[in-house]
Amino acid sequence: MAKNDQNNDLMEKIVSLTKRRGFIFPSSEIYGGFGSSYDYGPIGAELKNNVKQAWWDEMTKFQDNIVGLNSAVLMSPKVWEASGHLTEGFADMLAECKKCKRRFREDHIEEGKCPECGSELSEGRKFNLMMKTFIGSVEDKAATAYLRAETCQGIFINFENVRESMRMKIPFGIAQIGKAFRNEITPGNFTYRTREFDQMEMQFFVHPDEADKWFDYWKDERLKWYLGLGIKKENIRIREQKKDELAHYAKKAVDIEYRFPFGWQEIEGIHNRGDWDLSNHSKHSGKDLSYADEKTGKKFIPYVIETSAGADRSTLTFLINAYEEISGGRTTTTESIKEKEVVLRLNKKLSPVKVAILPLSKKEELAKKTRETFDLIKVKFESQYDETGSIGKRYRRHDEIGTPYCVTVDFETLEDNAVTVRDRDTMKQERIKIKELTEYLSKKLSQ
Ligand code: ATP
């Protein structure tokens, strides 16, 4: 198979697995779908939450000088004037096909020809990506507002509130996870680019003389985060943005890129935004957002080093990275011999279900013991009670969603009060006493 076909094939397999196993569904499907909107199913919601939690822990809990924030999606339109979104920035240059009238981002076009029909394209024109909405019950009198296009503006406008209330001293950071909306012209590649997505951003406020140092620090830290959660080294890289790619506010920027089946693409940006944000908000709001050095008393406008990731893009990245197909099957049950088996080798921290509790058969005598075991485990770990289908089928179902441990309750359990624990990756099985099960799993899951 040619490499391209293999890659398309992999995306199709991911889309199909995620639908089949309750990770991601096309939105509004019963109405024929709604352009590039997706819903996370029960398993996907857990996975995405785990991605967000891993980020939140790393960026707030494990740091001494970073605090969290949860700001509103709707803000005063003055925020977007000050940030430049309504005036100079945040507009993509779009070129229109003279024949089929489709529009494309100029920076995505290689040869000046329409990628759909090959005809000539017009000169690029600016198209603002902000999504408008109306506030007020009478539409023609209502005020125009915007759905935020990035979460960081909520952080900048709360710089003083957070600094004062939390007694923060520079250098310090503010982290936030939340929805952002962009009227993307070319959404696509599944959840890679959508019009509604979750950002995970951290703005680190520093003295201008220390900006380069912190930029390098966060670049390394963020790369480590992905590697620590199992992203394969050969599929992730850092790419420095060239001068002509830099956003109007950026002094320096790198992208963390992942080798998707559709090519190397950005998953996170690290930017030195200089004093653009705080000085513009100072100017537009009339509120002095400068910072007084504790020792010298000298005032300065802090520089911002930003780490800006997407929860949906990261979730997709972790899914693709974990996907493994084993042809010929790896289980020894007859039904699976020669079939392809899928294992999602997710980092255990990210696995949507940590433990599956499986009675060997549906027989009444096993149900009570299995339920007791489930009740014991479910308060500690995200668990599923699963009794449908043969044991082989159930193992495979859990391999496909990346469940690290399957616990089987069998007839011997009634005698010895022990269960069989199967490891997703090694497929090794161990007999463990029920009274030691919680401790055993805790240990295994934290490894
Ligand atoms: P791109 O060049 O892909 O449009 P960007 O450089 O505009 O991305 P940023 O504004 O730096 O993106 O946003 C930071 C992060 O937010 C991105 O690295 C990505 O993970 C996420 N993100 C941005 N736009 C989208 C989108 N339309 N859909 C999903 N995630 C997105």
Is any ligand 1 atom within 6 A of the Cβ of residue 212?
no
pLDDT band at 35 (very low <50, low <70, confident <90, very high): confident
The domain that holds 431 is classified in CATH as 3.40.50.800
Which of 104, 129, 154 terminates a domain? The answer is 129
Q: What is the pLDDT of residue 337?
A: 53
Q: What is the pLDDT of residue 138?
A: 72
Residues 205 and 295 in one domain: yes
Torsion of CA 204, 208, 212, 214, to 10 degrees: -30
Atom of ligand 1 nearest to the CA of 198: 30
Residue 114 in any domain: the answer is yes
Residues 144 and 92 in one domain: no
Q: What is the pLDDT of residue 244?
A: 82
Report how far apart, in Å, the C-alpha atoms of 94 and of each of 108, 130, 181, 194, 233 are: 10, 15, 19, 18, 35
pLDDT band at 186 (very low <50, low <70, confident <90, very high): confident
Give SS3 for 150. coil
Residue 333 in any domain: the answer is no
Residues 393 and 361 in one domain: yes
Residue 341 in any domain: the answer is no
Atom of ligand 1 nearest to the CA of 271: 11
Render pLDDT for 372-417 as a digit per residue (tens, 0 to 9).
999 999 999 999 999 999 999 999 999 999 999 999 999 999 999 9
Q: What is the pLDDT of residue 245?
A: 82
Residue 222 in any domain: the answer is yes
145 phi and psi angles, rounded to 5 deg:
-135, 175
Q: What is the pLDDT of residue 118?
A: 87
**Structural domain boundaries enclosing 407:** 347-446
Rounded mean pLDDT, 35-43: 95
Residues 109 and 195 in one domain: no
Residues 53 and 106 in one domain: no
Q: Are 383 and 374 in contact (CB under 8 A)?
A: yes
Closest Cα to atom 18 of ligand 1: 268
Q: What is the pLDDT of residue 124?
A: 77
Is any ligand 1 atom within 6 A of the Cβ of residue 257?
no
Mean pLDDT of the chain: 92
Separation of 69 CA from ligand 1 center, angstroms?
20
Render pLDDT for 233-283 as a digit per residue (tens, 0 to 9).
999 999 999 888 888 778 899 999 999 999 999 999 999 999 999 999 999
* C-alpha span between 210 and 205 (Å, rounded): 10
Is any ligand 1 atom within 6 A of the Cβ of residue 269?
yes
Separation of 331 CA from ligand 1 center, angstroms?
40
Residue 20's contacts (CB-CB under 8 Å, 6 or more residues apart) are none
Residue 338 in any domain: the answer is no
Is any ligand 1 atom within 6 A of the Cβ of residue 178?
no
User: How large a percentage of the chain has pLDDT more than 70?
Assistant: 95
Q: What is the pLDDT of residue 2?
A: 64
Residues 92 and 191 in one domain: no
Residues 119 and 29 in one domain: no
Residue 165 in any domain: the answer is yes
Render pLDDT for 272-313 as a digit per residue (tens, 0 to 9).
999 999 999 999 999 999 999 989 999 999 999 999 999 999
Residue 226 in any domain: the answer is yes
Q: Are 381 and 355 in contact (CB under 8 A)?
A: yes
Residue 331 in any domain: the answer is no
Q: What's the number of domains the chain is made of?
A: 3
The domain that holds 242 is classified in CATH as 3.30.930.10
Atom of ligand 1 nearest to the CA of 184: 27
Is any ligand 1 atom within 6 A of the Cβ of residue 308?
yes
Render pLDDT for 73-131 as a digit per residue (tens, 0 to 9).
999 999 999 998 887 656 667 788 888 877 787 777 777 788 888 888 888 777 778 99
Atom of ligand 1 nearest to the CA of 195: 27
Q: What is the pLDDT of residue 1?
A: 54
Q: What is the pLDDT of residue 90?
A: 62
Contacts 24+ apart (CB under 8 A), 444-447: 444/404, 444/405, 445/348, 445/354, 445/381, 445/404, 445/405, 447/348
Is any ligand 1 atom within 6 A of the Cβ of residue 18?
no
Residues 80 and 114 in one domain: no
Residues 82 and 187 in one domain: yes
Render pLDDT for 332-352 as a digit per residue (tens, 0 to 9).
655 545 578 999 999 999 999
Residues 355 and 296 in one domain: no
* C-alpha span between 298 and 290 (Å, rounded): 10
Q: What angle do CA 195, 201, 202 make, to 5 degrees?
A: 165
pLDDT band at 31 (very low <50, low <70, confident <90, very high): very high
Is any ligand 1 atom within 6 A of the Cβ of residue 266?
yes
Residues 58 and 201 in one domain: yes
| Residue 3: pLDDT over 90 | no
pLDDT band at 20 (very low <50, low <70, confident <90, very high): very high
pLDDT band at 70 (very low <50, low <70, confident <90, very high): very high
**To test the ligand 1 pocket, which listed residue (83, 155, 199) has its Cβ within 8 A of the most ligand atoms?**
199
Closest Cα to atom 3 of ligand 1: 266
Residues 171 and 149 in one domain: yes
